[in-house]
């Protein structure tokens, strides 16, 4: 006696397209239901689940990825040389946060360094082949073409930081202006009268914001920012050394320095020691990030704490929403700005 056959029996596994047709929805909607996305109405979810039951559709990880045109992988892209990657705690903290947030997912993390135009072109070809489902982009410079490329490819992406105040790509950032302002207000509040700053590369919005915070604090104290008290660097230890030498040449009587990163503060501290300046007696110092570098300096460095590891976690959460969300992009893209906190130590 012949029994009732389910649709598709005898000709292979039912496909995602057949489920979509039976439920009267698109293939992407079926994929979102199967993957547990909250961005599906109860009515649609019920229709898809009923179609799955009627057809006997049994999803698996590989089939889901293929049917939904998914790679089950995301790329963490750092357009910097490996010397910075391994020398600066910021990058390791970001990677730690990203890895922790991805641990409970099926997504593979691909770490990619981009140092040359050739490597950028190769990565663009990799993206065009849809070998990843999304991109986390760290350390963004104003002229970096990667964010615009990601938008043209309609590739889900999240930036660590932003290129400008009008960033169009989703991002996770810290309150860089407020954190820098609190650092300089602290130095002025300790009676320092000639406060200098060492900035990051000014083609990066993060460095511009920290410089803006410095200037705001100086003006709030009734002073006018002096160009001779500003030296730009590149977030590296050697950059901090060069900038500190420049500042001492221009204003040898300075009595405080706000460095826009702990690593640059460490370089500046070496130059102050070589020149016979005591910290904090002669020159008070504050850094930014509150990394292990700050805690291990002599004396321990006052620093603006930013939740770098949490930034990595938040980037993943935003990216997963972008990947699972509807294809129609909302006018307001996700923007997350995490608070900062000044941690006082012996250097100030």
Segment 279-283 shows an average pLDDT of 97
Query: What is the CATH topology of the domain spanning 176-306?
Result: Rossmann fold (3.40.50)
Regarding the domain with residue range 73-174+309-338, which homologous superfamily does it belong to in the CATH classification? Answer: Response regulator (3.40.50.2300)
pLDDT score at 142: 83
Say which DSSP state 51 is in.
Answer: H
Asked whether the predicted pLDDT for residue 198 surpasses 70, the reply is: yes
Asked whether the predicted pLDDT for residue 269 surpasses 50, the reply is: yes
Q: What b/e string do you get for 143-157 counting C-beta neighbours within 10 Å, with b at 16 or more?
A: ebebbebbeeeebbb
Q: Domains of the chain: which residue ranges? A: 16-68, 73-174+309-338, 176-306
pLDDT score at 204: 93
pLDDT score at 7: 45
* Assigned architecture for domain 16-68: Orthogonal Bundle (1.10)
Distances (CA, A) of 54 to 45, 144, 180, 221: 14, 50, 60, 72
Q: Per residue in 176-192, pLDDT tens?
A: 999 999 999 999 999 99
Asked whether the predicted pLDDT for residue 193 surpasses 50, the reply is: yes
Q: Per residue in 76-88, pLDDT tens?
A: 999 888 888 888 8
What is the C-alpha separation between 54 and 63, in angstroms, rounded?
Answer: 19
Residue 255 — pLDDT band, cuts 50, 70, 90? Answer: very high
**Mean pLDDT score across all residues of the chain:** 88
Burial degree of 282 (CB within 10 A; 0-12, 13-18, 19+): middle
Same CATH topology for 16-68 and 73-174+309-338: the answer is: no
């Amino acid at each position: 006696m012949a029994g009732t056959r389910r649709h598709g029996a005898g000709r292979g596994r039912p496909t995602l397209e057949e489920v979509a047709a039976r439920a009267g929805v698109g293939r992407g909607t079926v994929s979102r239901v199967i993957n547990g996305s909250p961005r599906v109405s109860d009515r649609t979810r019920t229709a898809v689940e009923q179609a799955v039951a009627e057809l006997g559709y049994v999803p698996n990880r590989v089939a889901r990825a293929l049917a939904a045109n998914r790679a089950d992988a995301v790329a963490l892209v750092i357009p910097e040389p490996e010397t910075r990657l391994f020398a600066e705690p910021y990058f390791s903290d970001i990677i730690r946060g990203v890895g922790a947030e991805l641990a409970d997912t099926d997504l593979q993390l691909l770490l990619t360094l981009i140092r040359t135009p050739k490597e950028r072109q190769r990565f663009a070809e990799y993206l065009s082949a849809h070998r990843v489902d999304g991109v986390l982009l760290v350390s963004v410079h104003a002229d970096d073409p990667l964010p615009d490329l990601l938008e043209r490819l309609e590739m889900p992406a999240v930036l660590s930081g932003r290129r400008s105040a009008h960033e169009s790509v989703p991002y996770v950032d810290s309150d860089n202006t407020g954190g820098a302002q609190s650092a300089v207000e602290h130095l002025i509040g300790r009676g320092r009268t000639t406060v200098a700053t060492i900035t990051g590369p000014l083609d990066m919005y993060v460095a511009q914001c920290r410089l803006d915070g410095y200037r705001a604090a100086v003006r709030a104290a009734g002073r006018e920012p002096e160009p001779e008290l500003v030296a730009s660097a590149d977030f590296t230890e050697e950059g901090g050394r060069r900038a500190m030498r420049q500042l001492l040449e221009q204003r040898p009587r300075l009595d405080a320095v706000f460095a826009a990163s702990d690593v640059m503060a460490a370089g500046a501290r070496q130059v102050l020691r070589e020149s016979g300046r005591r910290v904090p007696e002669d020159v008070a110092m504050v850094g930014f990030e509150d990394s292990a570098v700050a805690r291990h300096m002599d004396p321990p460095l006052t620093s603006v704490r930013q939740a770098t590891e949490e930034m990595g976690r938040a980037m993943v959460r935003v990216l997963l929403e972008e990947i699972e969300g509807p294809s129609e992009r909302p006018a307001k893209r996700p923007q997350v700005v995490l608070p900062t906190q000044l941690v006082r130590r012996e250097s100030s």
